[in-house]
Amino acid sequence: MARKYSIIRAEGDATKPAEMLLYDVIGADPWTGGGITAERVLADLKALGQDSAIDVRINSPGGEVYEGVAIYNALARHPGKVTVHIDGFAASIATLIAMAGDEIRVAENAVWMVHQPWTFAMGNAPEMRRIADSLDKHWAAMLTTYERRTGRAAAELAQRVTDAGGEWWMTAAEAVAEGFADTVVDPSEDAVAYGLGRFGKVPERIAASLRTDADEARNSVLANLAQSLGRAAAVELSPPRKTVAQAPTHTPAEDPDQARRRRVVEVLRLS
């Protein structure tokens, strides 16, 4: 299974930075048992040592504001140089974590999305007003961090989000132009956005480019899988065809290898 969070200390070369992967939702995910917590990041940074430089690689749809702010603060306090790399997707609170970088590098085929925090709530009218006030305060606090890093006024940033319909999507070049990143880099591997489907206002120019990147990446994974199984296989990743319902028939049991290959292909098609 691919690693979604890890921190790897460089070995054999003290000048080489450690690498932290933030490839998951921010905060504990009760549905999958995954997620990246501030407690774990803080413990790993402490074990790494104060003088260690670190490359933070981000591909995340965001998550819990509290956890994200704490992760940002932990990285911002780290004495060693912090270089942030946006490998595929930085959205919501993941963009705020990225602001902790002394240098922020974004892959040319990666995307950013900034929006106001949101939540689910139950209660009466006074409770709803209290929650709305709380969200406003969280947004104001996030804007101070964006303001400090981008050099743009908080009111201007808030207006850009409003003008964009609530979700401010940016290409790599736009993120640099707006002050959210320092450099656009030519990636050695295609960036594939993790968790893009949870947002409803993805501009078509961004979604189309990411669909192409994702198809190429999945085809590569499938080719490697076929090779590792020692079988010649050609799998076409295409939209599912409409099928006509048929009467139930008896299907012979699959052997373990067939079942494993089928499950992997189904997961890749649905991801």
Q: Which residues are catalytic?
A: 92, 115
Give SS3 for 35: strand
Burial of 40 (0-12, 13-18, 19+ CB in 10 A): middle
CA nearest to 106, candidates 168, 186, 167: 186
Burial of 94 (0-12, 13-18, 19+ CB in 10 A): buried
Angstrom distance (rounded) from CA 193 to CA 196: 6
Angle between helices 65-77 and 38-48 (to 10 degrees): 10
Write out the two tokens for 27: 């905060």
Q: Are 95 and 67 in contact (CB under 8 A)?
A: no
DSSP for 129-144, please give it: HHHHHHHHHHHHHHHH
Angstrom distance (rounded) from CA 164 to CA 171: 14
